Amino acid sequence: MKISIDTDASSLIIDGAAHDLHSREAFAVIADLWVKTGWVRKYSYGFSWLGRPIIQLPDDMLRIQEAIWQVQPDLIIETGIAHGGSLIFYASLMEMIGKGRVIGLDIDIRAHNRAAIEAHAMVKRITMIEGSSVAADVVAQVKALIRPGDVVMLILDSNHSRDHVAAELAAYADLVTPGSYILSQDGVMQMVAGSPRAPAEWADDNPITAVRAFLAARPDFELAKPPRPFDETLDTPDCSHHPVGWLRRKPA
């Protein structure tokens, strides 16, 4: 695709066709490019939450916050801890809401990350389990921590290969409460495949492929972003790393 921008003429030209620079179409093209270029530039690696690095786009963090406020979960299960910023983020939201716990799973919890999370005030709402998120003993430990009546939300942010996400969905989707959500992160891999920091194989080997196969077999889930509680935008698209990522378990 060839894009040129003429700020004097206030136009964005896509493959020879001119659009008003301030139109929805132009914004969508610019936003898409911003997300893709930002992936290569590691834009999402520049933020922290209450002292811990978090590898998320701030836009996505706000959408997750909206979902947590809407669902008011008793339990969030997150695969992929890394530095712990996302665990602390969810735990701190639960602290403000006044209830809830987070279980974080990671195949490799580095000693310095574990120490920092364990020293954090929000650790009181966090349980960490080390091991592959799809290992039978890890899945069993998670199940044992769920209390009767818990409203459960699931966030997948570990290994984002198609097969691993498919295995995580198979292991944990049944734990998600009707009306609550699964967020399968980093569908952006499909958008950026073939660019720097993104092998061409990601065009197929990505979380979106796993999500679509899952949905074809599970009519009790649907693609549904949590509704925006506030939206006076002029119909702006999301700037997100998680396209085709929000799955709602249909209310019973």
Ligand X SMILES: C[S@@+](CC[C@H](N)C(=O)[O-])C[C@H]1O[C@@H](n2cnc3c(N)ncnc32)[C@H](O)[C@@H]1O
Q: Which residues bind ligand X (CB under 6 A)?
A: 54-56, 79-83, 85-86, 105-108, 132-133, 157-159, 164
Q: Which is nearer to ligand X, 12 or 171 (CB)?
A: 171
Q: Which is nearer to ligand X, 27 or 90 (CB)?
A: 90
Q: Which is nearer to ligand X, 20 or 108 (CB)?
A: 108
Is residue 193 within 8 Å of residue 162, measured between CB atoms? no
- Among 113, 91, 110, smallest CA distance to 100 is for 91
State whether residue 7 is helix, strand or coil: coil
The residues facing 154 across adjacent strands are: 77, 182
Contacts for 62 with CB less than 8 Å, ≥ 6 apart = none
- In the complex, what is the shortest distance from the CB of residue 69 to ligand X, in angstroms, rounded to a whole number? 19
- In the complex, what is the shortest distance from the CB of residue 220 to ligand X, in angstroms, rounded to a whole number? 25
Q: Which is nearer to ligand X, 131 or 237 (CB)?
A: 131
Is residue 186 within 8 Å of residue 160, measured between CB atoms? yes
Task: Please give the Cα distance from 188 to 198 (Å, whole number).
Answer: 10
Is residue 83 within 8 Å of residue 50, measured between CB atoms? no
Task: Tell me whether strands 221-223 and 246-249 are parallel, antiparallel or unpaired.
Answer: antiparallel
What is Dmax (Cα atoms) for the chain?
62
- In the complex, what is the shortest distance from the CB of residue 109 to ligand X, in angstroms, rounded to a whole number? 8
State whether residue 40 is helix, strand or coil: helix
- In the complex, what is the shortest distance from the CB of residue 168 to ligand X, in angstroms, rounded to a whole number? 8
Q: Which is nearer to ligand X, 109 or 247 (CB)?
A: 109
- In the complex, what is the shortest distance from the CB of residue 241 to ligand X, in angstroms, rounded to a whole number? 10
- In the complex, what is the shortest distance from the CB of residue 93 to ligand X, in angstroms, rounded to a whole number? 14
Q: Which is nearer to ligand X, 26 or 169 (CB)?
A: 169
Q: Which is nearer to ligand X, 18 or 51 (CB)?
A: 51
- In the complex, what is the shortest distance from the CB of residue 52 to ligand X, in angstroms, rounded to a whole number? 8
Q: What is the CA radius of gyration of the chain?
A: 19
Task: Please give the Cα distance from 40 to 87 (Å, whole number).
Answer: 25
Task: Tell me whether strands 152-156 and 126-130 are parallel, antiparallel or unpaired.
Answer: unpaired
